[in-house]
């Protein structure tokens, strides 16, 4: 979702631009800066693209690593005090854990997303009722109010798919098991598969299904999203969901490996027309349930 221009958004972007210029003048890549600061490359990118606020102390450390003059450092430290902005998603409070805050920001900035789903429909395509069932299963101890916040956040994120400006391209590959797992029962699944067919009709989305008959393939055992961002020294980030936790992969090798895996999944999947035909058939089977 595009960032809203608030009084603190502009200073964030200005500060990010100045820090990027200082890094470039120092002859440092994002990787070099991340190593020197002992931060992740993603954090550097988020700062430089105005995606996050900064403490004056952090700016001072960055300026020291970049070799900035004392007067410039003082100016940028002052600018940092004006960057205490909140992303739209932070209004949902505890429904956005720290590890997911970064993902929502990257999702909104990406110009291309490649999503692979092995177990459930990706959040960007879930209906409200389907999302509620999945979230309840993953967080059984939460109250109805807490679950409702998570559901509302998930639905709000979906605006990125249809936004008018800088609408991203999405490549979606789902295992057939996602379509056949009866999450919430027949009525919920009918509506959910209808939502998938609706999304598949959008010009910026390519949707494919990997049928059971292909057997074993490299995507088994995890769900992941490749987020690519234009005009960024950070080529992209891979977000991986698994039973052992959720992680971000940022190196060029990791990014290229997952791009190769996703390309392989596309090659074994049904084409978009065949995929929609399969979804239609499975949706009909829920009508008979």
Query: pLDDT tens across 14-58, in order?
Result: 788 889 999 999 999 999 999 999 999 989 988 888 777 788 899
3-state SS, the chain, equals CCCCCCCCHHHHHHHHHHHHHHHHHCCCCHHHHHHHHCCCHHHHHHHHCCCCCCCHHHHHHHHHHHCCCHHHHHHHHHHHCCCCCCCHHHHHHHHCCHHHHHHHHHHHHCCEEEEEECCCCCHHHCCHHHHHHHHHHHCCCCCHHHHHHHHHHHHHHCHHHHCCCCCCEEEEEEEHHHHHCCCCCHHHHHHHHHHHHHHHCCCCEEEEEECHHHCCCCCCCCEEEEEECCCCCCCEEEEEEECCEEEEECCHHHHHHHHHHHHHHHHHCCCHHHHHHHHHHHHHHHHCC
Predicted confidence at residue 112, as pLDDT, reads 94
Examine the domain organization and report whether 14 and 65 are in the same domain: yes
Predicted confidence at residue 268, as pLDDT, reads 96
Examine the domain organization and report whether 96 and 178 are in the same domain: yes
- pTM of the prediction? 0.76
- Max mean pLDDT among 41-50, 89-98, 277-286 falls in 277-286
Counted domains in the chain:
2
The domain containing residue 119 runs over which residues? 88-287
Predicted confidence at residue 100, as pLDDT, reads 75
Residue 2 covered by a domain: no
Query: pLDDT tens across 191-241, in order?
Result: 999 999 999 999 999 999 999 999 999 888 788 999 987 755 556 789 998
Examine the domain organization and report whether 183 and 139 are in the same domain: yes
Examine the domain organization and report whether 69 and 154 are in the same domain: no
Q: Of 31, 51, 80, which residue constitutes the final position of a domain? A: 80
- Find the angle CA(149)-CA(221)-CA(121) to the nearest 5 degrees: 40
Q: What angle separates helix 186-200 from helix 128-138, to the nearest 10 degrees?
A: 120
Q: Residue 214 and residue 212: Cα distance in Å, rounded?
A: 6
Query: pLDDT tens across 230-272, in order?
Result: 755 556 789 998 666 678 887 888 989 999 999 999 999 999 9
Q: Of 80, 100, 124, which residue constitutes the final position of a domain? A: 80
Do 192 and 157 form a contact (C-beta atoms < 8 A)? no
More confident residue, 111 or 10: 111
Examine the domain organization and report whether 33 and 129 are in the same domain: no
Residue 3 covered by a domain: no
Share of the chain above pLDDT 90, in %: 58
More confident residue, 72 or 28: 28
Examine the domain organization and report whether 92 and 141 are in the same domain: yes
Examine the domain organization and report whether 112 and 250 are in the same domain: yes
Examine the domain organization and report whether 27 and 56 are in the same domain: yes
Examine the domain organization and report whether 72 and 95 are in the same domain: no
Predicted confidence at residue 80, as pLDDT, reads 80
The pairing of strands 112-117 and 245-249 is unpaired
Residue 257 covered by a domain: yes
Instruction: Say whether pLDDT at 188 is over 70.
Output: yes
CATH of the domain at 44: 1.10.260.40
Instruction: Say whether pLDDT at 5 is over 60.
Output: no
Predicted confidence at residue 1, as pLDDT, reads 35
CA-based torsion, 243, 190, 127, 196: positive or negative? positive
Query: pLDDT tens across 107-141, in order?
Result: 887 889 999 999 999 999 999 999 999 999 989 99
């Amino acid at each position: 979702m595009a960032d809203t221009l608030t009084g603190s958004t502009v200073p964030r972007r200005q500060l990010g631009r100045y820090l990027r210029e200082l890094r470039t003048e120092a002859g440092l890549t994002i990787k070099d800066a991340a190593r020197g600061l002992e931060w992740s490359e993603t954090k550097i990118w988020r700062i430089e693209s105005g995606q996050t606020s900064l403490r004056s102390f952090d700016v001072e450390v960055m300026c020291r690593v970049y070799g900035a003059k004392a007067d410039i450092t003082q100016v940028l430290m002052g600018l940092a005090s004006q960057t205490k902005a909140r992303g739209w998603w932070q209004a949902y409070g505890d429904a956005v854990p720290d590890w997911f805050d970064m993902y929502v920001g990257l999702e909104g900035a990406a110009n291309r997303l490649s999503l692979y789903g092995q177990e459930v429909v990706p959040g960007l395509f879930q209906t409200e009722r389907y999302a509620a069932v999945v979230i309840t299963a993953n967080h059984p101890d939460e109250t109805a109010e807490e679950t409702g916040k998570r559901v509302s956040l998930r639905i709000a994120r979906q605006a990125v798919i249809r936004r008018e400006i800088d609408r991203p391209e999405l490549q979606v590959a789902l295992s057939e098991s996602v379509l056949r797992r009866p999450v919430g029962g027949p009525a919920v699944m009918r509506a959910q598969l209808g939502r998938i067919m609706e999304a598949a009709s959008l010009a910026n989305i390519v949707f494919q299904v990997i049928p059971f008959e292909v057997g074993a393939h490299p995507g088994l055992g995890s769900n992941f999203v490749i987020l690519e961002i234009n005009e960024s020294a950070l080529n992209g980030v891979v977000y991986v969901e698994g039973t052992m936790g959720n992680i971000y992969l940022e190196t060029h090798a990791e990014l290229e490996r997952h791009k190769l895996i996703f390309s392989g999944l596309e090659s074994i999947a049904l084409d978009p027309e065949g995929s929609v035909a399969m979804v239609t058939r499975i949706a009909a089977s829920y009508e008979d349930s």
